[in-house]
Structure 1
Amino acid sequence: MNIPTGLILEGLVALLLVTTIAYCWVLDRKLKAIREGQDGMRDLVKALNRSSELARHYVSDMNEASRRAGQELEERIQSAKELGEDLRQSIEGGQANARALADELSIMVDAGNNLAERLETQVNKRVAAKPAAPSPMPAHAQRIARAPVPQTAAKAPAPAPQQRAQAGRAGGEPADVPALQQKLMDALRRSR
């Protein structure tokens, strides 16, 4: 059997051609897969690009919002500081007014006490100077003597004018001095 060499060579070339065609077919499939992957990669890159743009936009919005919130918070803090300062000044002014009113009230109480002491001294002098004869009361003292004394303020009912006169005649300090003092205090309270 003698196979011609040309035929062997042509068979070998045909075999190589079939192998090349099969290899090309496999290579074509891989290239198609790569192209499809590139399309997918291109879509993926586009989506990533859109996402990064959105992220940049959201970050700038967040920066703006945080800047505005910071300014608003700073304004509120400043407003609170001013309000606190106003409140502190008002409290200090109120305390100064309270001190002034307390001082004025203290002066008024001292003046009232001095007046009461002087009146008591004068009453005691008159009682000691004229124990036998009752002196006529001035009109304003008669009004005070006739005025009803509230039960809560009075400790004991005041004696009648005749009883006071008799007590004054008995000698020493009259028994109605505390009652007179009480009436004087009541009159001072009513005059306010």
Structure 2
Amino acid sequence: MNHSLGIIIESLVAVLLMLTIGYCMVLNSRLKRLKADEHSLKATIGELITATEIAERAIGGLKHTVRDVNEHLGSQITAATQMSMHLKSQLAEGDGVIRRLSKIAAAARPATQEAAPAPAAPKVSPAKAVAAAAQAFSERRRTDGLAA
């Protein structure tokens, strides 16, 4: 009986060792897959770091560009505002000149034309009419001996 009990115990130990060896093989394959995943994960992390650095440089460049655009746009807006005010004042002066020329043209018309309605005259642009009236007024003043 001693021998059979020893054989049973030794058989049981052998079976347990076989199970342990099988389990170690399964763990070894899992560890190999984990190592392969670790290498691919390291490569992915490296790519992410590179992409992050590129993005940070691009953001810095964009910030610099935005600052430059703000400075240039501000000066251009200021110049445009000044030009607009200058043009507004010139338009106001031009309007005043047109009004004075219209008054001169009205004063230069002979009294007979004001009393009698004029026959249908060909359409002349207001600018040409004002220029002709101013020319006539200056010629009339010169013949009277007065400078226009």
- Which of the five TM-score ranges fits, normalised by the shorter chain? 0.5 to 0.7
Name the residue aligned to 2:115.
Answer: none
Q: Displacement of 1:109 after TM fit?
A: 4.4
Quote the residue 1:81 is aligned against: 74
| TM-score, length basis structure 2 | 0.66
Which structure has the larger Rg over C-alpha atoms? 1
Which of 10, 34, 37 is residue 27 of structure 2 equivalent to?
A: 34
Name the one with the larger helix percent.
2
Distance (Å, rounded) in 1 between the aligned partners of 2:36 and 2:20: 24
What fraction of aligned residue pairs are identical, expressed as a percent? 6
CA 1:187 to 1:53, structure 2 compared with 1: closer, same or farther past 3 Å? closer
After superposition, the C-alpha distances for 1:124-162 in whole angstroms (9 at most, x for unaligned) are: xxxxxxxxxxxxxxxxxxxxxxxxx99517xxxxxxxxx
- RMSD (CA atoms): 3.3
Code of the aligned partner of 1:34 = L
Distance 1:150 1:76, change over 3 A: farther
Structure 1, unaligned stretches of length 5 or more?
1-7, 121-148, 154-184
Cα distance in 2 between the residues matched to 1:84 and 1:90: 10
**Matched residue SS, 1:51:** helix
1:109/1:12 Cα in 2 relative to 1: closer, same or farther (>3 Å)? same
Count residues with an aligned counterpart.
124
The match for 2:121 is 152
Superimposed CA distance per residue, residues 40-93 of structure 1 (whole angstroms, 9 cap, x where no aligned partner):
111112221111111111112122222222332333333333322222111100
In 1, Cα distance between the equivalents of 2:39 and 2:132?
Answer: 100
Structure 2 unaligned segments of length 5 or more: list them.
112-117, 123-129, 139-148
